[in-house]
Structure 1
């Protein structure tokens, strides 16, 4: 009897070819994985890292929830029986919180989790570290999505290790500058139209000056007036003097400059009242004054007093800053206040000013009081995160506002580069007579007369 070999069907042939192609693709990804991860971390994560992590999360979810105390018995009676017969061991087959599908991001993933009765978001916040270790990711953060649901966000790759400066065409929207990268991988944007006033703190070599360099380099090409207050003799901000409409280098000049800024806001207030609008952005283009960004470096030098004769001067400086913070946002005057140490011991004016500075950036600090002043009134978790920034991560900071908090790292902008950009755009420096008279006009005569903003970029 002769047996004929069966011919494979077309479906079997296509299945075989598909399996071979899949095996070749997976092998290629595994072999090219290290090189792909170095050159394009986001592509490596989406092609290889995310699928593997999905399997890891699915495999460890139930034992992880049980180990973190987030699994509960299906029946209350089983808990009593298990405690009597098994010496307090958890009951078999516990019920675990139900998680939703995993959504990939450029540097990680996120998914929602529905809480079981009696659970709170804080229970999952405590388990975030265990989740990161079990899933072998960089960090896990838990936030409240809606009542009864938390959002678990994991960062597989650390985007703060080597932040890349994005390619940007043009100057971008007015008063909006990309200064770094967030821990989520999104760009770190300082938008003065959304959050008009900022407080930046950090110890020496923590990255505070680098952030100011990035802000100056970002605002210099824009049609805005930059004003500096540097009571350390102008050692920091004098590098950008050609792009500054005014620079105060001691407290006496700072008091005069702040008074001139208040006169400027009063004049703009009259213009807005006459036009029956609430802020300068409601004015016609041809009547809208130029925005003014005031950068104050080392705020403590304005508040510290050595004798009684300096007390009135320091009080005048504090009052001027607080009034600008209260009135400036609607009138196109914005504050960026920086310092190595900011504490309540500098006087009540610091606390009043802090309340008006809605954006906070805290680099590594040497005393807990400065971190408390920057973040304590906004979010205790942000305060704890700021106090764990290691010394070798210059530029890393915790930024917080009323919307929440994030870890971030500013782009490395050397002083030489920021000075070069400031000189390149010196021809855009607006001339504001009141401010120039307060501290004296620039010696090189580079300021041009621009007293209004033609159009919002």
Structure 2
């Protein structure tokens, strides 16, 4: 009898049975509803993130997002309709110093670029995707603020020249960019000395007197790839090395001293060199519009969230301004920026032109920053010829 029971037990196999989740109360929201799902033993929030699309189809809603989690439970938010279908009724708004509302997020909240919270941004997108429109929106939002704007326009100046009245400096060639970056490094050093004088760690510390607090500087970079491309390595290697190292130095040190980056590009890939990968690690804000290749989406979002890469590759060309955004909460969202005409940005630049400080005021140097900027100082070239990027986190 005992032998029969042992044989019978050997024939039994443990079968995994899926259990329906235990759900909490449904709470209505402005765009749909939220509910809490309690996890079974062995489950993790990632298990729910993997099936959000399936849940959206099962619940017959536009989308489902995991908005928060605590040990043993997750909170899911369902959106009944797409809030990004139209943002026509919205306006670009200044919402405090270095803070601009530029559109809507997929959860219905405002799409905000806040440089004091997220100091440096990478903005990528193909032609007509909305990448340049977002830069125009920033100019409209920052123009009335006590902020210095600096433009790096490697399209020969066609993007930012219409807004030159509000810019403190504009570089249209790589050599000019190298000169302006050298000046920015000098500004950082001067502000370091000021912070040491008042024994503070950054220019926003309460002990820093308002009378001596430096003006923040936002650097807008268009066509980032042009800074790193080399048609003739023998003659351009030193210039590219100087630009790469100075830009990385500004990204690493700029936040504490009031210098912020908004870097744009159509295509950004690791093939541009290790300087691009090192710089990306410092650009914590990511915005990916529709792109033409997987590499650019991965370069922008891949080190943050692989699901964000897949979402970015699904953006349609008939919805310009739509992007996948990773900002202050370190979670990705679909977002759409308000359409800003070039004429609107140009009008804002001219209207607030008197707020643009001269480059001489910012640097204590010559009044015309671009004059002679095409030539690199010999000492600077020697200093930056071989940038050491090995210790920079990637």
Q: Tell me if structure 2 keeps the 8 A contact 1:99–1:113.
A: yes
**Aligned counterpart, 1:39:** none
**Aligned counterpart, 2:334:** 407
**Aligned counterpart, 1:299:** 224
Tell whether 2:288 aligns with 1:357: no
**Aligned counterpart, 1:227:** 150
**Aligned counterpart, 2:369:** 438
Q: C-alpha separation between the residues in 1 aligned to 2:252 and 2:19?
A: 53
Q: C-alpha separation between the residues in 1 aligned to 2:142 and 2:261?
A: 13
Secondary structure class of the residue paired with 2:83: coil
- Deviates further, 323-332 or 126-135: 126-135
Q: C-alpha separation between the residues in 2 aligned to 1:289 and 1:299?
A: 27
Tell whether 2:336 aligns with 1:416: no
Larger RCO of the pair (alpha carbons < 8 Å, separation 6+):
2
**Aligned counterpart, 1:336:** 262
Q: Tell me if structure 2 keeps the 8 A contact 1:129–1:140.
A: yes
**Aligned counterpart, 1:114:** 38
Distance 1:388 1:224, change over 3 A: same
Q: C-alpha separation between the residues in 2 aligned to 1:128 and 1:195?
A: 28
Tell whether 2:304 aligns with 1:378: yes
Q: Which one has the largest radius of gyration?
A: 1
Q: C-alpha separation between the residues in 1 aligned to 2:81 and 2:60?
A: 10
Compute the displacement of 1:143 (Å): 4.8
Q: C-alpha separation between the residues in 1 aligned to 2:185 and 2:156?
A: 23
Compute the displacement of 1:419 (Å): 0.9
Could you give the per-residue CA deviations for residues 369-414 of structure 1, whole angstroms, max 9, x where no partner exists?
1111101111111111111111111111001146211110111011
Secondary structure class of the residue paired with 1:439: coil
Q: C-alpha separation between the residues in 1 aligned to 2:189 and 2:19?
A: 64
Tell whether 2:56 aligns with 1:125: no
Q: Tell me if structure 1 keeps the 8 A contact 2:92–2:137.
A: no
Could you give the per-residue CA deviations for residues 291-330 of structure 1, whole angstroms, max 9, x where no partner exists?
0000000001110011020111111111111000011000
**1:145-294 to 2 correspondence within 5 Å?**
145-166=69-90, 171-282=94-205, 283-294=208-219
Q: C-alpha separation between the residues in 1 aligned to 2:240 and 2:280?
A: 16
**Aligned counterpart, 1:29:** none
Q: Tell me if structure 1 keeps the 8 A contact 2:134–2:337.
A: yes
Q: C-alpha separation between the residues in 1 aligned to 2:128 and 2:92?
A: 27
What TM-score results when the alignment is normalised by the length of structure 1?
A: 0.74
Compute the displacement of 1:430 (Å): 1.2
Question: How many aligned positions are there?
Answer: 354
Q: C-alpha separation between the residues in 2 aligned to 1:168 and 1:304?
A: 34
Compute the displacement of 1:140 (Å): 1.0
Secondary structure class of the residue paired with 2:112: strand
Q: C-alpha separation between the residues in 2 aligned to 1:378 and 1:305?
A: 29
Q: Tell me if structure 2 keeps the 8 A contact 1:121–1:143.
A: no
Q: C-alpha separation between the residues in 2 aligned to 1:386 and 1:225?
A: 32
Q: C-alpha separation between the residues in 1 aligned to 2:306 and 2:70?
A: 20
Structure 2 residue aligned with 1:310, among 228, 232, 236? 236
Where in structure 2 are there 5+ consecutive unaligned residues?
A: 1-10, 373-394
Q: C-alpha separation between the residues in 1 aligned to 2:29 and 2:154?
A: 44
Secondary structure class of the residue paired with 1:287: coil
- Deviates further, 328-337 or 158-167: 158-167
Distance 1:191 1:301, change over 3 A: same
Where in structure 1 are there 5+ consecutive unaligned residues?
A: 1-79, 442-457
Compute the displacement of 1:155 (Å): 1.0
Q: Tell me if structure 1 keeps the 8 A contact 2:92–2:100.
A: no
